[in-house]
Amino acid sequence: MQRDEILHWLKETDEARLEELWARADAVRKERVGDEVHLRGLIEIGNYCVRQCAYCGINACSQGITRYRMATEEILACAREAHRLGYGSVVMQAGEDPGFKAETIAAIVREIKTTTPLAVTLSLGEREDDELRLWKEAGADRYLLRFETSDPALYDHIHPSLPGTLSDRMAQLERMRDMGYEIGTGVMVGIPGQTWDILAQDIDTFRDYDMDMIGIGPFLPSPRTPLGGPDAASHMAPEGLQVPNDELTTLKAVALTRLVCPQSNIPSTTALATLDPKAGRELGLSRGANVVMPNVTPPEYRVLYEIYPGKACVHETAQVCHGCMEARIRSIGRVMGKGPGGRKAS
Ligand code: 5AD
Ligand code: FES
């Protein structure tokens, strides 16, 4: 599928034609990655952050947030809980926080890898190569780092660099692949300044870089941030060019991503479930996705990990989310994934 065809589908509004897109995406999903839905237990290990990403509610400048950093033993307890619930992997996610020392993370990874069969995914932002290498040697399997946009100007606008460094997530993803990580990335749909052309290029980029995992969710404005505050309108692309942050467009992006990256692991995201609590998860899974990331963070911490308001599941326990996910997966005739659920070989 060429770029202009991706673009055309993104703008498609005819329901009958869209049925064709959904059917194609679901057929490719079934044929290439099967009916199993892989479950990743998400552990939000801390919300300190040194970055100022313009969309993110826990960025360094965000006021009125209680910051936390989970202790090693608490994180390990979450991992054991994920294993007990039958999940094949855990994702340790935090803001970009040098307060999490590389050696602390490495020790946690080592402990999980030696005491459980879990695959371990890290999502800790932009970190030094020697840290990333240390974690790989400790046994980490995968790393998630969404590039958020393939447009250089928009990228710079929403990701102010730290003094003395240049933010380059694409380059980090490539280096991590060379280190042996499975690499995951993704974008938000409808971020202010995102045009249709840019979103089509984002999807093309997933294919060009042969990403192993691709997370796509709607942009949900956080009033604590520049892109969600009173000035939000000033960041928008001109009328007609700006991509809306709605469910339909997100589902088109998921479906198209499945078509161009048939073997990738694609989650039905929490942001989509937040936008449509009733059916968002199921719609994502029915239109290309094959992964879900149930939260296993203790409830007292998950309320503090507020990257956007109203996040799904903030008041639930790991046990409740497990039951909820299982019911949703079964309701659409799919099966719970077994094992770590790594990327299928081509
Ligand atoms: N709306 C939707 N998704 C967001 N993320 C961060 N802030 C928001 C927001 N306001 C996503 C980013 C990040 C992931 C962990 O959460 O894409 O990579
Ligand atoms: Fe958490 Fe449904 S997945 S309540």
Query: What count of Cα atoms within 13 Å lies in the side-chain half-sphere of residue 113?
Result: 18
- For residues 242 and 192, the answer to whether their CB atoms sit within 8 Å is yes
Question: What CA–CA distance (Å, rounded) separates 289 from 38?
Answer: 10
Any atom of ligand 2 within 6 Å of the Cβ of 294? yes
Question: In the chain, how many domains are there?
Answer: 1
Query: How many angstroms is it from 21 CA to the middle of ligand 2?
Result: 28
Q: Give the number of the atom of ligand 2 that is nearest the alpha carbon of residue 312.
A: 1
* Cross-strand pairs, 182: 142
| Domain limits for position 245 | 3-334
> Among residues 155, 159, 128, 132, which one has the least CA distance to residue 143?
132
The tens digit of pLDDT for each residue in 248-307 reads: 999 999 999 999 999 999 999 999 999 999 999 999 999 999 999 999 999 999 999 999
Between helix 3-11 and helix 196-208 the angle, nearest 10°, is 130
Mean pLDDT value across the chain: 97
Q: Which residue has the tokens 């999807």?
A: 203
Tell whether the model's pLDDT for residue 345 goes beyond 80.
no
Question: What CA–CA distance (Å, rounded) separates 236 from 191?
Answer: 8
**What are the angstrom distances between the C-alpha of 285 and each of 16, 76, 183?**
20, 29, 21
Residues in Cβ contact with 73 at an 8 Å cutoff, skipping those fewer than 6 apart: none
The tens digit of pLDDT for each residue in 119-176 reads: 999 999 999 999 999 999 999 999 999 999 999 999 999 999 888 888 999 999 999 9
- The dihedral over CA atoms of 197, 203, 205, 208, expressed in degrees to the nearest 10, equals -130
Q: Which residue has the tokens 């039905």?
A: 268
Q: What is the DSSP-derived secondary structure letter of residue 262?
A: T
Question: What CA–CA distance (Å, rounded) separates 30 from 289?
Answer: 10
Query: How many angstroms is it from 215 CA to the middle of ligand 1?
Result: 10
Any atom of ligand 2 within 6 Å of the Cβ of 77? no
What's the pLDDT band for 343 if we cut at 50, 70, 90? confident
The CATH number for 309's domain is 3.20.20.70
For residue 341, tell me if it sits in a domain: no
For residue 340, tell me if it sits in a domain: no
For residue 344, tell me if it sits in a domain: no
Nearest CA to ligand 1 atom 7: 56
For residue 343, tell me if it sits in a domain: no
- Residue 76 CA, chain-centre distance (Å), reads 22
Whole-number CA gyration radius for the chain = 19
Element (H, E) at 75: helix 72-84
Any atom of ligand 2 within 6 Å of the Cβ of 329? no
Cα angle 176, 178, 179; round to 5: 65
Q: What is the DSSP-derived secondary structure letter of residue 234?
A: G
For residue 346, tell me if it sits in a domain: no
For residue 226, tell me if it sits in a domain: yes
Where helices occur in 139-246 by DSSP H, the ranges are: 152-158, 169-179, 196-208
**What are the angstrom distances between the C-alpha of 212 and each of 101, 132, 208, 276, 286?**
27, 18, 12, 26, 20
Residue 346 pLDDT? 62
- Determine the average pLDDT of the residues in 23-44: 98
Question: What CA–CA distance (Å, rounded) separates 87 from 293?
Answer: 10
Q: Helix, strand, or coil here: 74?
A: helix
- Determine the average pLDDT of the residues in 22-42: 98
- For residues 314 and 62, the answer to whether their CB atoms sit within 8 Å is no
**Residues of the chain above pLDDT 70, percent:** 99
Q: Give the number of the atom of ligand 2 that is nearest the alpha carbon of residue 328.
A: 2
What's the pLDDT band for 214 if we cut at 50, 70, 90? very high
For residue 120, tell me if it sits in a domain: yes
- Residue 229 CA, chain-centre distance (Å), reads 23
User: Could you report how far apart the first and last alpha carbons of the chain are, in Å?
Assistant: 18
For residue 38, tell me if it sits in a domain: yes
Question: What CA–CA distance (Å, rounded) separates 93 from 330?
Answer: 27
Question: What CA–CA distance (Å, rounded) separates 303 from 67?
Answer: 11
* Cross-strand pairs, 267: 291
Nearest CA to ligand 2 atom 4: 321
- Report which residue type is found at 314: V
Any atom of ligand 1 within 6 Å of the Cβ of 55? yes
The tens digit of pLDDT for each residue in 73-125 reads: 999 999 999 999 999 999 999 999 999 999 999 999 999 999 999 999 999 99
Any atom of ligand 1 within 6 Å of the Cβ of 87? no
**What are the angstrom distances between the C-alpha of 194 and each of 98, 207, 234, 248, 251?**
30, 19, 13, 16, 16
